[in-house]
């Protein structure tokens, strides 16, 4: 009787060990598969990206838009009215600082050539700060400053689920947060390139939140320096309520943005093309 019981116990222990071994092997296999499928995380530290910004302006359309809205032409509008074809308008330098608990992106757009003279070398400055939230980075602070114009700033609080928008030190509005929130810089470096399928984002423009949906499309060969990178195009959905196009090309290997194009013809009479030139 004791012998039978011992055999039974041995059998149970053996089955348990087999199940445990099978479970461990399954978990290791799943972990390996996930490691292969997961996008490589960018290393911590500071990286500088330099871009060439080209502009195509339909200023007759822009004049009509300004007249209809009652808005006075800005110093940039006045300067761009002198050009009738696509121009190399500015250089963009994005400095990306990655820490374990924060992603900080500082972007400075500097006019070049004749445009620099016409606008008295006024710069367009932006800054984004994001923190990790449930495995993804979410924007918590973002500002834009155009030349001598007032700074527009947004401060986001996920505990209170609120976003406050300022012009200078004056509060303009307060909005409720919902879903995956990025800004116009973080969506390039930590947004669309991390998504495998169609993805919705609430994009923080420093003046308000706008829902944008991006769809991954075909892969392009895009030259950067002496290399040719495989970059996937992500296209923003357009409809009758939002006709502005926004396309982003993300390098498949490094997940860095190598090109993006914003078509603002319906609202601004302009198309902006930004192309990566160098990384250091």
CB atoms within 10 A of CB 111: 22
pLDDT of res. 48: 97
Average pLDDT score over the chain: 82
* Cα four-point dihedral sign 248, 54, 279, 147: negative
Check pLDDT > 80 for residue 204.
yes
Pairing of strands 270-279, 45-57: antiparallel
The 10s digit of each residue's pLDDT in 29-88 is 334 333 334 455 567 899 999 999 998 877 667 677 777 877 777 766 666 666 656 789
Q: Which two tokens stand for residue 155?
A: 């401060």
Q: Please enumerate, as own/partner, the contacts of 173-177 that have beta carbons within 8 Å and a separation of 24 or more.
A: 173/208, 175/208, 175/209, 177/202, 177/209
Q: Which two tokens stand for residue 83?
A: 């050009």
CB 232 within 8 A of CB 250: yes
pLDDT of res. 63: 72
How far apart are the C-alpha atoms of 187 and 100, rounded to whole Å?
Answer: 19
Check pLDDT > 80 for residue 25.
no
How far apart are the C-alpha atoms of 251 and 258, rounded to whole Å?
Answer: 6
pLDDT of res. 270: 77
pLDDT of res. 40: 52
pLDDT of res. 29: 33
For residues 167-171, average pLDDT = 95
**Conformation bin of residue 61: beta by default, left when phi > 0, alpha when psi is -120 to 50:** alpha
The 10s digit of each residue's pLDDT in 116-143 is 877 777 899 999 999 987 778 899 999 9
The 10s digit of each residue's pLDDT in 63-76 is 777 778 777 777 66
φ, ψ dihedrals at 212, nearest 5°? -130, 140
Pairing of strands 102-111, 209-224: unpaired
User: What pTM does this model have?
Assistant: 0.77
For residues 243-264, average pLDDT = 93
CB 125 within 8 A of CB 107: yes
Of 84-88, 204-208, 221-225, which gets the smallest average pLDDT? Answer: 84-88
For residues 164-177, average pLDDT = 95
CB 137 within 8 A of CB 128: no
pLDDT band of residue 268 (cuts 50, 70, 90) is low
For residues 190-209, average pLDDT = 91
pLDDT of res. 118: 73
Burial zone of 131 (CB within 10 Å; 0-12 exposed, 13-18 middle, 19+ buried): middle
pLDDT of res. 95: 98
Residues in contact with 255: Cβ distance below 8 Å, sequence separation at least 6, in sequence order: 39, 40, 42, 193, 194
**Conformation bin of residue 12: beta by default, left when phi > 0, alpha when psi is -120 to 50:** alpha
The residues pairing with 196 across neighbouring beta strands, listed in sequence order, are none
Greater confidence (19 vs 108) lies with 108
Q: Which two tokens stand for residue 131?
A: 């923190």
Determine the 3-state secondary structure of 25 from DSSP. Answer: helix
pLDDT of res. 12: 38
The residues pairing with 162 across neighbouring beta strands, listed in sequence order, are 157, 176
CB 165 within 8 A of CB 153: yes
- The share of the chain scoring above pLDDT 90, in percent, equals 55
How far apart are the C-alpha atoms of 162 and 171, rounded to whole Å?
Answer: 13
């Amino acid at each position: 009787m004791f012998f039978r019981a011992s055999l039974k116990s041995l059998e149970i222990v053996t089955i348990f060990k087999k199940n445990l071994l099978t479970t461990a092997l399954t978990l290791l296999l799943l972990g390996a598969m996930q490691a292969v499928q997961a996008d490589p995380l960018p290393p911590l530290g500071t990286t500088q990206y330099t871009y060439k910004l080209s502009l195509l302006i339909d200023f007759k359309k822009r004049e009509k838009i300004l007249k209809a809205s009652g808005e006075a032409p800005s110093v940039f509008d006045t300067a761009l009215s002198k050009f009738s074809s696509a121009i190399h308008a500015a250089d963009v330098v994005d400095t990306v600082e990655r820490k374990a608990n924060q992603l900080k992106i500082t972007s400075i757009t500097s006019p070049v050539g004749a445009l620099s003279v016409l606008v008295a070398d006024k710069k367009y400055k932006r800054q984004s700060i994001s923190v990790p939230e449930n495995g993804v980075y979410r924007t918590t602070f973002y500002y834009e400053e155009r030349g001598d114009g007032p700074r527009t700033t947004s401060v986001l609080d996920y505990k209170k689920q609120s976003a406050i928008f300022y012009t200078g030190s004056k509060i303009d509005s307060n909005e409720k947060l919902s879903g995956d929130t990025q800004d116009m810089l973080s969506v390039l470096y930590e947004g669309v390139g991390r998504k495998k399928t169609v993805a919705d984002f609430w994009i923080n423009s420093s003046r308000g939140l706008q829902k944008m949906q991006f769809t991954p499309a075909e892969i392009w060969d895009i030259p950067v320096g002496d290399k040719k990178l495989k970059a996937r195009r992500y296209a923003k959905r357009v409809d009758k309520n939002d006709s502005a196009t926004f396309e982003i090309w993300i390098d498949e290997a490094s997940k860095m943005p190598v090109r993006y194009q914003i078509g603002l013809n319906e609202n601004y009479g302009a198309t902006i093309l930004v192309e990566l030139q160098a990384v250091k």
